[in-house]
Structure 1
């Protein structure tokens, strides 16, 4: 089992998380703790109502992860998740391959189609076309990364022999978020992995409905993906990364929480999961770093 921890660079607490020194210190703590990857999320223009009710801030994911890359040498870098319809696919492909090249091949592009209509409106993107825009972006990004001239007319672009570079080898992995039937199809067709989340009571109804409801639900969906890959003779490695909560885990750092998480790991591994994404408490930078060290001592060192 591998672990991905959110790095709380989106937290706006003054003097704690949003500075070069803070990012460097947290990154080094993650790497020294042998954490496999860190991730950031994507909200360029969130709804104020959502933000102040139960939402969260976010820095630009590519810029934030570039700072993390510069402060590390081994830590993998993941977007969890980047909302593909928000951006022209040529810009997404360029940002992703730039980060892949300059990080030495450590980038994982976790993507989804989004859910917050107010954010789509602010960015001038049709919310009701997000599924088609996501499919088009995935197809186009793969074509761009293959290298060569692109001749393609899309829903919001018209490439007439454009040749974006770099075309790195290996290409960044793409993990597909979401748990709808469409998301599962995308994971099979375009993905190197699947990265859904468990729904919890704190989520909005839309998030709850789009999340995984149980381990049994998760196992069924993993089996659906793997069977479809087998039918299409897709034999490359495929990752399953489940975000087990979007509320801070291990609030009390109690033995009960340790025992419960160990049982959760056993169940999730049995369902086909090989990556776990977690968010640790971070009332301050020092507390976050201490929690990273505690997590590593209790779990990473024992896997």
Structure 2
């Protein structure tokens, strides 16, 4: 099973630990050498101060950060984890994806979600109540635009009549993942994507404004069962991959043996990749922990 790692560049304190080109270079080269499959960046272009002050986090421009990461690595996959697709015109996103994939020699993976911050939707001028429908539409539009061929598409407030994005991406197709735990997210992955990208939620936390609760392996297994059943009813022969956001649920204790035990459970369920949260207050501490995980776990998989 492959292991992915969310990148620490959303940590803006202490100053200059993770917000410099030197940090991108060091972090990127460490995780590539350690054997991680992909580096992940999240997406919050204009969050509210209230959300940030109550436990939210900053996020730089995802395609900017992945471009910088691609410039200092050669094998590491460059993955959004996740991109809030309804925030942006899908053809603009497709252009960024195609450019990055072309110049990184086919290393891009795009995981998308509907998002949940009403204040951010309002700041960006997008109808929050229409986000799920926009998500489905934008995924279809992106697929067409990423072929490198001329395409026609009628969207919500925009129309493509024989447009073309070239050069197209190296990968055909670029892997598209759908994030979220809700049944609609699972159905969307079956209908429109290459993988389902769920994540664990903290027990007892109300996630209704975000996505369905998933607190452990039993919930994950239930979601996979639902996806298998929906594939049969939809007529999709090969199930989407399952790419888990994190090996452990929030608050779980970790040990080397627990990594192997949990990875074994996920492999039995058919999970192909999972994220690993690396901790570190400073860049040196974060990189040391990433290197240690590579030696203790990844090298032995």
What SS does the corresponding residue of 1:64 show, helix, strand or coil?
Answer: helix
Paired residue for 1:253? Answer: none
Asked if the contact 1:65–1:77 (Cα under 8 Å) also holds between the matched residues in 2, the reply is yes
**What does the per-residue CA deviation read over 1:101-128, in whole Å, with 9 as the maximum and x for residues that have no partner?**
1111111000011111111001000000
Change (3 A) 1:236 1:74: farther
1:204 deviates by: 5.8
Residue matched to 1:12: 12
Residue range with higher mean Cα deviation, 27-36 or 241-250 = 241-250
The alignment partner of 2:271 has SS state of coil
**Partners in 1 of 2:151 and 2:178 — Cα distance?**
24
Q: Within 5 A, what are the aligned runs for 1:74-113?
A: 74-113=75-114
Match of 2:196 in 1: 194
Q: How much is the aligned-residue C-alpha RMSD, in angstroms? A: 2.1
Q: Deviation at 1:209?
A: 5.0
Q: 1:116 to 1:93 in 2, by over 3 A?
A: same
Q: How does 1:47-196 map onto structure 2 within 5 Å?
A: 47-168=48-169, 169-196=171-198
Give the distance between the partners of 1:15 and 1:281, measured in 2 at CA: 17
Measured in 2, the distance between the counterparts of 1:262 and 1:106 equals 27
Offset of residue 67 of structure 1: 0.4
Q: Structure 1's 141 and 208: CA in aligned 2 closer, same or farther, altered over 3 A?
A: closer
Partner of 2:219: 217
Query: What CA distance in whole angstroms lies between the structure 1 residues aligned with 2:252 and 2:101?
Result: 30
State whether structure 2 residue 231 is matched by structure 1 residue 229: yes
Cα deviation for residue 51 of structure 1 reads: 0.9
Structure 1 stretches of at least 4 aligned residues deviating more than 3 Å after TM superposition: 201-209, 226-238, 245-250
Write out per-residue CA displacement over residues 201-230 of structure 1, whole angstroms, 9 at most, x where no aligned residue: 596633675242331221122132234335
Aligned 1:272-283 pairs, distance under 5 A: 272-283=270-281
In the alignment, is the contact (CA less than 8 A) between 2:90 and 2:142 conserved in 1? yes
Structure 1 pair 132–209 and aligned structure 2 pair: CA distance change class (3 A): closer
Contact 1:201–1:208 under 8 Å retained in 2? no
Give yes or no for the alignment of 1:291 onto 2:295: no
Q: Name which of structure 1's ranges 217-226 and 205-214 shifts more when overlaid on structure 2.
A: 205-214
- Does the 8 Å CA contact 2:84/2:112 hold for their aligned counterparts? yes
Per the alignment, do residues 211 and 278 of structure 1 end up closer, same or farther by CA in structure 2, a change over 3 Å counting?
farther
Distance 1:15 1:237, change over 3 A: same
Q: Distance in 2 between matches of 1:108 and 1:230?
A: 26
Residue 41 of structure 1: how far off its partner (Å): 0.3
Q: What residue ranges of structure 2 are gaps of 5+ in the alignment?
A: none
Q: Once structures 1 and 2 are overlaid, which stretch shifts more, 165-174 or 105-114?
A: 165-174
Conservation of the 8 A alpha-carbon contact between 2:112 and 2:177: yes
Q: TM-score, normalised by structure 1?
A: 0.91
Normalised by the length of structure 2, the TM-score is: 0.92
Give the Cα separation in 2 of the matches to 1:227 and 1:42.
Answer: 31
Relative distance call for 1:246 and 1:40 in structure 2 (3 A) is farther
Pick closer, same or farther for the CA change 1:188–1:10 going to 2, 3 Å: same
Residue 44 in 1 paired to residue 42 in 2? no
